[in-house]
A and B are shown apart, each in its own frame.
Chain A
Amino acid sequence: MAKLTMVKALNLALHQEMERDDDVLVLGEDVGVDGGVFRVTEGLRDKYGAERVMDTPLAESSIIGTAVGMAVYGLKPVCEIQFSGFSYLAFQQLESHAARMRWRSRGAYHVPLVLRTPYGAGVRALEHHSESREAYYAHTPGLKMVIPSGPRSARALLLSAIRDPDPVVFYEPKAIYRAFREEVPEEEETLPLGKAEVVREGSDLTLISYGAMLRPTLEAADVLQQEDGVQSEVIDLRTIAPLDYETFAASARKTGRVVIVNEAPRSFGPAAEITARLVEKAFWHLEAPVRRVTGYDVIVPFFAYEKTYLPDTGRIVHAARETLSVKS
């Protein structure tokens, strides 16, 4: 098994799926000759040709809008929006058409497109290059919202997203594009959408996270074990919508204490929805108020302060200790 970065793992998924399925095509800005500004689509154009690996004009609405048409016709377009901060021009196409075509046509047409886009802070980028706006998409009925947390899950989830018959927004945590490697099997591997994963078992506390925040969350679990003797159960959501609340509700019923970690702004974000689900599904088992460790409800600052903005291991440990200190 090769040890791959997330960029290489995503690239492997695209190569394998384009090889396997003629209906799959890749389109976006600089995805062809250049291989993508992060190199996720490297080598695809040489192998599968310019017709299936399209360097499009610089127009986000056009990328998603034409992909809706292609998908209705029977293709499986995998669109790259260069940064999630530029995806809003395509929002109309997602909300008004991609998400609704199956419903509007009463099942006559469906839109199996994937919108891949790098999101999140931590790479010392310019304005508009650091946001975490998954809630916009997760809030839209008809869309799926997937966020991998490492190379192996990125590859497996991208394959599933491409094969899924419904439109999927696939957020790639660019802060960990190359931050670490994982064993990624050469042979095909998929992961079900809409299914969270317990990545570490424990009985004292539940930590719920996803995407780039999973690593600091796991580190926090280590610290809590080493310094406090606390056994944390860590859940990687993987899919934000449709949300798998059974997995984390079951964990909360077991541990009674929950800390949710997400990079997005706190208000109306995924952690808010998770909290609501916990109230509905596990209220009588909770021994302490649910805590949220999130981005603040501010614009992501320029990079001089972005590390201060982002949730980190220390902040998660602190919140966990407060949660654990509540007497049941």
Chain B
Amino acid sequence: MPRETIELSHQIERLSILDEGGNLDKSLEPEMDDALLLRLHRTMLLGREFDERMLKLQRQGRLGTFAPIKGQEASQLGAVATLRASDWLVPAFRETAAQLWRGQSMESVLLAYGGFYQGNQVPEGVNALPVAIPVATQILHGAGIAYAIKLRGKDDVAMTFFGDGATSEGDFYEALNFAGVFQVPAVFVCQNNQWAISIPRAHQTAAKTLAQKALAAGIPGIQVDGNDVLAVYVAAREAVERARAGDGPTLIENVTYRLSVHTTADDPSVYRDEEEVAKWEKREPIPRFQKYLIDKGLLSEEDIASLEDEIKVEIREAVERAEKQMEELSSEALTMFDHIYAEMPPYLREQRDELARELEEKEAANG
């Protein structure tokens, strides 16, 4: 037999609707309610402002380590804005704005990064998993939830987030592969922010795009300007509609940029140039979207200013509430024995009693 060429029908599209200056490609403009557009804008501002406030709190020693989202507001919010309440969000650890969008409170986020696992409790009725730290592992949970949705005959969708570094992990490929084989209603959103701590995107893979990794799993993939909230929304909506219709999973690569540190324990000056950051600051998502909304007559400079003031107050109040809760919870260390199993085994009861005695003795000694 001769050598033959196997034709692969797939191609990778790249989608961009608002250019760097916020100018609209009218032919691609999605139909979206004004209310949705304004809610998106508000949550982008909230995400940014909350991020900056948390960074200050961390620097003051009032919060522990966390992963800022600065610059990635469009990339996550444009995607989750396509979900309905019965859909599922499976985050990694840089999706704070998406979590807020889905109904998690700022207090709970502050509690979690303030060292209190109580902040991880997803509110009743919110279909979202808590933050997942080990890179890429949560992508399989998204695929599994999507399988369960399909088995139960529902038309919901599971949307999973991860970064560019995650695409080098086996679990990423295993999840796409599983989702493809069983044609489950999953949407995989890669926030390609160009850096996995100090490793640039080019060192994760020799592939031209991350979106093309979908091809190996036999599922559609698309690359999107991740700093263009309209483009992210359109790509995610297509993927969600496809999933809902029973036509299987999609991989979306949002090309964005981590304008801040990997986590608060990281110093990017060791590995990347300020010039590169400055270049991406020009492409950042919020001013682009604001220009669009202003051009559309939905927003004015004054609106933005008063919105920012409003948000600052909201955040300040959330911080106050969270710090009060942290104070109240600081004496609740015995809760570490809760939720290990549905029922506490005898040896855990013994260990809890052991700690309870120790704490009582300490308190007696101090009191």
Contact = CB atoms under 8 A, between A and B. Distances in A.
A32 to B, nearest CB: 13
Interface string B130-166: 1011100111111111111101100000100000000
Contact of B143 (A69, A105, A144, A165): A69
Contacts of B241: none
B345 A70 contact: no
B346 A93 contact: no
Contacts of A291: none
B168 to A, nearest CB: 14
B175 A65 contact: yes
Interface stretch (B187-195, B303-311, B334-342): B334-342
A75 to B, nearest CB: 5
A110 B132 contact: no
B177 A62 contact: yes
Contact of A108 (B122, B132, B152, B174): B122
A106 interface: yes
A75 B154 CA distance: 14
A59 interface: yes
Interface stretch (A239-247, A297-305, A319-327): A239-247
Please classify the interface of chain B as helix (H, G, I), strand (E, B), loop, or mixed, using the class held by over half of its residues. helix
A68 interface: yes
Contacts of B118: 106
Contacts of A194: 345
B141 A72 contact: yes
Interface string B341-352: 110011110000
Contact of B140 (A93, A106, A165): A93
A72 B117 CA distance: 19
Nearest to A55: B181
A142 B340 contact: yes
A73 B157 CA distance: 12
B170 interface: yes
Contacts of A144: 341
A92 B138 CA distance: 11
A64 B129 CA distance: 17
B247 interface: no
Contacts of B300: none
A143 to B, nearest CB: 9
Contact of B338 (A107, A141, A246): A107
Contact of B120 (A62, A72, A106): A106
Contact of A59 (B146, B177, B340): B177
Interface in A260-318: none
Contacts of A109: 122, 129
Interface string A52-87: 101011010110111111111111000000000000
25 contacts: A25-B151, A56-B181, A59-B170, A59-B174, A62-B143, A65-B144, A65-B171, A66-B178, A68-B140, A68-B144, A69-B147, A69-B158, A72-B129, A73-B148, A92-B137, A96-B133, A101-B129, A103-B340, A105-B339, A106-B121, A107-B338, A107-B339, A109-B122, A242-B346, A242-B348
Given A72-B145, A96-B134, 7 more contacts: A57-B178, A66-B140, A75-B151, A97-B141, A103-B117, A103-B340, A104-B120
